[in-house]
Amino acid sequence: MSAPLGVILAGGQARRMGGGDKALLMLEGQTLLARVVARLATQVDKLALNANGDPARFQGYDLPVLADSVGGFVGPLAGVLAGLDWAASQGATHIVTAAADTPFFPDDLVERLQNAVTDGAPIAMAATPDPKRGMSRHPTFGLWPVALRDDLRRALNNGTRKVIDWTDRHGVAHAEFPVVPYDPFFNVNTPQDMLDAIELLERAKS
């Protein structure tokens, strides 16, 4: 499989952070978005950003900004669809998505997602071990085939909102990542999470 296109999902409303753009919050001298761009850019062919509202606020990142085509902030599937439509216009066959508030995701995310897909599971999703459930899935970190974009559009228009409700209809493979020395899919949802992210960075330096 050739390198997919990358889509950073930043279309949410960040209610637990008091609203605004979580992606533009500063973490030790860099925005969360800058950290995510740097981590994903080396793994994909091209990058775009899924975000709603005035795209001018992201002009310093030199990325195409893709708004949801389904209104009402209906969740990450709308961002996936925006990415798939963009990828189709670029002649690509797949996208990989990453959340804009998750600055420590793996450097081999794309490779391991690609290795996980099978004929019966054309979608791949990142996962980590969970002591209670056995496995915790991370729906915003996935590999998505452009061939399913019209099916996803129909599902959204028919009211589907949860990522796994749609992916499980088509077959989803899981690429499992370790959580030692830290959970690579730790995301910044609250002010306390930002303090925890600073601590993670300091620990990595030591």
Question: Is the link from the previous residue into 181 a cis peptide, with omega within 30 of 0?
Answer: yes
Q: Could you tell me the pTM of the whole model?
A: 0.94
- Domain enclosing residue 59, as ranges: 5-205
Report d(CA 52, CA 30) in Å as an integer: 22
The pLDDT, as a whole number, for residue 17 is: 42
State pLDDT tens for residues 38-90. 999 999 999 999 999 999 999 999 999 999 988 887 899 999 999 999 999 99
Long-range contacts of 15-19 (CB under 8 A, 24+ apart): 16/189, 16/190, 17/188, 17/189, 17/190, 17/191
| Four-point Cα dihedral 186, 190, 196, 202, nearest 10 | 90
How far apart CA 20 and CA 38 sit, in angstroms, is 22
In angstroms, rounded to a whole number, what is the distance separating the alpha carbons of residues 117 and 123? 6
Is the CB of residue 82 less than 8 Å from the CB of residue 69? yes
Structure confidence at residue 12 (pLDDT): 62
Low-confidence ranges of the chain (pLDDT < 50): 14-18
CATH of residue 151's domain is 3.90.550.10
Number of domains in the chain: 1
